[in-house]
Amino acid sequence: MAIRLSTRLLNVCIASLCKASRLDKAEAVLVDGIRMGSLPDVVTYNTLIFAYCRYVGIDEAYSILYRMREAGIKADVVTYNSLIAGATKYCLPSRSLDLFEEMLQTGVSPDELTYNTLMHCMFTSGYPDDAYKVFQEMIEKNVRPSIITYNTLINGLCKSGNAINALKLFRNLQRLGFSAELVTYNTLINGLCKSRRLGAARKILRELGDSGYVPDAITYTTVMKCCFRSGKFTQGLEVFSGMMSRGYTSDVFSYCTVISALVKLGRMGEAYTCAQQMLSNGSGLDIACYNTLIYMYSTEGKLDKALQLLKEIEESSLESDVYTHSIIVNGFCKMGCIDVAHQQLHAMEVKGCGSNLVACNSLIDGLCKVGDVDSAIKLFNSMDLKDSFTYASLLHGLCKVGKFHMASKIMITCLREGINVLSSAQRAVLAGLRRMRFGKDAKKLRTSIWKARYHMPP
């Protein structure tokens, strides 16, 4: 005999299946439930929309929204909040704004979560001014912000290069009636570290110590990374051992940070030991962990091991990303295997990772190093997007084969485009011109470098 589930029980079943990311099964339960006379409600559909945004994609989540409407159920604030968060996750700021407009038009009032999510979306999409407008609208509409609102603002300000205002806001929290949380401290310490305000970061770290909060794995990783970034490797490794001795031994972010630093230092033995620890103690190994391991093997020239890991990724539920392929392309370039690197770059494009700037830069460098500067120039000319690494690699390659005038011309173009030319590349071109007794051209180039440095017209 078929049993008709109550709506509440139907929702419990669907929620537990969604939580386990078994969406096909959740859908089947919904279809069977309806067939047997159960009545899904707004909670049923919201649960599915949330899960589709999280595990599948925004378009699939929209299809649930349409089915919900067909069933005569009106979307509520929870529905829109999930969809806006989904659009944020997939970097679709205009979709977020459209959803926000739609909810206003259909008479659904945004709540604190709506504004926080929309603000976060605007910051992560590179529109800090719009994010601030969202915050102002939130205040105007009398929606009370929470500490999460302020954490989002502090984070967004830091990430958009405005750490000083983030610090000011942090100092104003008490006046606004809020106390900083561990998230607030971690966010600000990270922002200050990344904007190289190490003195201020140290001060906030001390304040965190006095606050009663206990630094967590995120605090340690943030500080450790900051040490590595500023070349303080011993200090960074001390932070790591301090973290381990306090029992934070399963955090994969910290392992990735330290393995990568050890590889860069050439301390491969320690890197392998740490990798082993990550594999045995780390919980929730993700694509970044695999990329770190691939980086470790590639740097040592163990490309067979790297490719074996790539195969493991492809056979698992994980998906390789631009980092994975760029690391492998770079590994082959370093070994002088340019043809294989080319094949990898092609495979990357076929897979939909797109042509990647880092991989192309590696290939330019690799081509120059094996003496094929002409192919490097060809690749350089075919690239729409270039950065200081692109220019540095090509300029060094051109200098190596004595093409100083071409290097000089390219460097002037680069400076005019506002891209920073690394000082090593500048020195190589200038020294080459002088050595070949092209003193006048060297002087001209020097003037262009000065004008670019002091933002003068060319």
Q: Which stretch binds DNA (CB under 7 A): 58-66, 201-209, 385-393, 410-418?
A: 385-393
Least distance to DNA from the beta carbon of 77, Å?
A: 12
How big is the site for DNA, counted in residues (CB under 7 A)?
69
In angstroms, give the least distance from the CB of 59 to DNA: 19
Residue 323 binds DNA (CB under 7 A): yes
Single out the segment in contact with DNA by CB under 7 A; choices: 60-68, 234-242, 286-294, 375-383.
286-294
Q: Work out whether 393 is an interface residue with DNA (CB under 7 A).
A: yes
Position 62 contacts DNA (CB under 7 A): no
Assigned token pair, 251: 């955090």
Q: How far is the CB of 32 from DNA (least distance, A)?
A: 27
- For residue 314, the minimal CB distance to DNA (Å) is 14
Handedness of CA 174, 208, 190, 118 (dihedral sign): negative
Please give the residues from 403 up to 422 whose contact with DNA meets the rule CB under 7 A: 422
Task: Based on the shown chain and the rule CB under 7 A, indicate whether residue 322 belongs to the binding site for DNA.
Answer: yes
Q: Contact between 369 and DNA (CB under 7 A)?
A: yes
- Work out whether the CA dihedral 114, 120, 121, 123 comes out positive or negative: positive
DSSP structure string for 279-345: HHH-SS--HHHHHHHHHHHHHTT-HHHHHHHHHHHHHSS----HHHHHHHHHHHHHTT-HHHHHHHH
Q: How far is CA 176 from CA 162, 170, 338, 436, in A?
A: 20, 10, 59, 66
Q: Give the largest CA-CA distance in the chain.
A: 97
Environment class of residue 54 by beta-carbon count within 10 Å: exposed (0-12), middle (13-18) or buried (19+)?
A: middle
Tell me which stretch binds DNA (CB under 7 A): 24-32, 318-326, 401-409, 436-444: 318-326
**Choice from 362, 408, 426, 448 touching DNA (CB under 7 A):** 362
CA pair distance 436, 379, nearest whole angstrom: 27
The whole-angstrom distance between residue 291's C-alpha and the CA centroid of its chain comes to 14
Site for DNA in 130-149 (CB under 7 A): 146-148
- The pattern of x and - marking residues 210 through 239 that bind DNA according to CB under 7 A reads ------xxx-xxx--x--------------
> Residue 75 in 3-state DSSP?
coil
Q: Is 356 in the site for DNA (CB under 7 A)?
A: yes
Contacting residue, 46, 96, 160, 260, with DNA by CB under 7 A: 260
Cα–Cα distances (Å) from 336 to 181, 215, 368, 403, in that order, read 50, 45, 10, 22
From the CB of 396, what's the least distance to DNA, in Å? 5
Cα–Cα distance between 408 and 291 in angstroms, integer?
Answer: 37
CB of 413 to DNA, least distance (A): 18
CA distance 382 to 311: 30
> Is residue 160 part of the contact set for DNA (CB under 7 A)?
no
- C-beta of residue 167 within 8 angstroms of C-beta of residue 133: no
Should residue 387 be labelled a site residue for DNA when binding is judged by CB under 7 A? Answer: yes
Q: Does 288 contact DNA by CB under 7 A?
A: yes
Going by the DSSP 8-state scheme, the letter that residue 74 receives in this structure is -
For DNA, the closer CB: 62 or 290:
290
Is residue 257 near DNA by the rule CB under 7 A? yes
Give the residue, chosen from 49, 310, 365, 410, that forms a contact with DNA under the rule CB under 7 A.
365
295: left (phi over 0), alpha (psi -120 to 50) or beta: alpha
Angle at 15 between CA 13 and CA 16, to 5 degrees: 70
Contact residues for DNA (CB under 7 A)?
85, 112-113, 116-117, 120, 146-148, 151-152, 155, 159, 181-184, 186-187, 190, 216-218, 220-222, 225, 251-254, 256-257, 260, 263-264, 286-289, 291-292, 295, 299, 321-324, 326-327, 330, 334, 356-359, 361-362, 365, 369, 387, 389, 392-393, 396, 422-425
